[in-house]
Structures are given as structure tokens and as C-alpha cells.
Chains A and B, each alone.
Chain A
């Protein structure tokens, strides 16, 4: 059974989700719940830190697609950071870097949000 955990930390109006393990069709609902919770709290400036994510399938990619329109409509965004080469390749293969901002580390992602405040 796939292991997956999400740890959340809030700093001002920015929330960081640290995701760890394997993000597939089995674990995607847990990740979806985490983002849904943020949206319900009207926290729409979200950084997802992939540092400890070992694997992602299209079910994981689909979670981002499910929320981005709504979040951007509220002047928010989902920015991504700390992706391993293995995980980045999957995003790149499908053209996700054209739609999402993917940066090297969490600090940079937070900085980009602060620049657009």
C-alpha cells in the first residue's frame, strides 16, 4: 500500500504543503482533501514542496488541475518547488511547466508570492 503524507505550515497568507511518499490514484484523495481544506479556509496562496515526493502518476497531476482555475479566480495560485528530476520529468512531459510556476526551492516560491502581493 502506497505511503503518502502531507504536512501543512502557514506563514501569513501563504500555506506550504510538504508532500512525501507516493502520489498515485490511491493517495491522491488525501492530497485533494488537503488542498480542498485550504480553499475552504480561503487560503489561496499555496506552495507545494515536492522535496520528499518519490513518485507521481497522472492521478496526482489531476489534483492540481482540479483546483487551479478556482484558486486563480480568487487571485491565488499554486506554486511548486523542490521537485526531483524524476518527478519534474513527468510534469515536463505533459507541458505542466507552461501552466504552473515550478521553482527550485520553497523560499523562492514564497518570495514570488510576496512579490505579487
Chain B
């Protein structure tokens, strides 16, 4: 099925004060795409987490510091790509966490990618340090309210808890 894509972009300074602006930008496009409030919230939170990771980790000692957010949507899905020009990260280290271990160690932080993977349908990374590091997140309209997706999310959560039991 060919779909006409609609494209939007936003570039902000790399500062947590702009997270709300980015969330609002993405939420409005997600609504236009056709997602209900519950799914708009999931998309919004995922983008917040991706941008927060950029603010916290991407640019130590590197200038200029900015965050680029590209959003495209068509009849099938919304795609949000968060890009920075910082030091990059190792995507292999961003596996789903075992939450029992996480809680037992009273850890804080490090839940951003974990949340994105639970909340979005597809997540992929492209890392080119100091040039272009991207996190691409996709949410499909057809999976909205889908019992299969809800079951899949439940299984992921249960696996996470059960892993070390």
C-alpha cells in the first residue's frame, strides 16, 4: 500500500527546558495521525525519554548542542526520529531490563530506552558519533487497541519480572 507521508521537523537547543515543547509538537502530530489519547501519551513519553537521554548523555564536552526531532506519518503509522550530534551510545547495552534486579539494587535512571521499547512498536538506532546518532521509533495505527499488542506487552513485562526468579 502506498501512503502519502507528511513530514515535520523541529530543532531545539539541547536543554531539558524544551522537553515540553517537543512533547507538545509530537503529541499534536500523533493526534492528527489518528491515535487516541492513550497512544498519544505513549508516543509523547517515548519521545521525551529519547530526548532526555540526549540531554543527559550525548554532549559532554561537545558543541554545538542540539536535538532534532523528525516526525512523519501516513495512513499506517507515525515515525519519530530523535537525532543528535553527540558522542553516540552502544545500542547493544540497551536491552530490556530485568525489573526485579533493577528494584533490588535501588537503581535510579536508565529506564528511558526500556520504556521506549515497551511503549513503541518498533525501535531502531543509527550511530555515527559526533555526526549523526538517531533513535527511530514507530507506532502503527492498526496496532492501536489491538489485544495482540496488549498481550505482547504483558508477556514482555512478565518475562522481565520472571527472568531471575
Contacts and interface: CB of A to CB of B under 8 A. Distances in A.
Interface of A: 1-2, 22, 24-26, 55, 57-59, 61-63, 65-66, 68-69, 86, 90, 93-95, 98-99
Interface residues of B, number: 29
Contacts of A62: 108-109, 111
Given A57-B48, A58-B112, A95-B99, 8 more contacts: A1-B17, A2-B19, A22-B20, A24-B20, A58-B49, A65-B109, A68-B106, A86-B41
A25 B119 CA distance: 19
A57 B56 CA distance: 14
Nearest to A72: B106
A94 B52 contact: no
Which of the listed residues B18, B108, B115, B153 has the most CB atoms from chain A within 10 Å of its own CB? B108
A93 B157 contact: yes
Contact of A65 (B20, B56, B107): B107
B17 A26 contact: yes
B52 A69 contact: no
Contacts of A65: 106-109
B107 A25 contact: no
Given A1-B20, A2-B19, A59-B52, A90 B109 contact: no
A80 B160 CA distance: 24
Contacts of A68: 106
A79 B103 CA distance: 16
A108 B55 CA distance: 38
Which of the listed residues A1, A2, A94 has the most CB atoms from chain B within 10 Å of its own CB? A94
A95 B161 contact: yes
A11 B164 CA distance: 41
Contacts of A59: 52, 109
B144 interface: no
Interface string B126-162: 0000000000000000000000000001000100110
Contacts of B111: 58, 61-62, 94
A24 B106 contact: no
A90 B46 CA distance: 11
B115 A24 contact: no
Which of the listed residues A58, A61, A86, A90 has the most CB atoms from chain B within 10 Å of its own CB? A58
Given A22-B20, A62-B111, A95-B99, A57 B49 contact: yes
A93 B115 contact: yes
A24 B20 CA distance: 9
Nearest to B113: A58
A58 B41 CA distance: 14
A26 B16 contact: yes
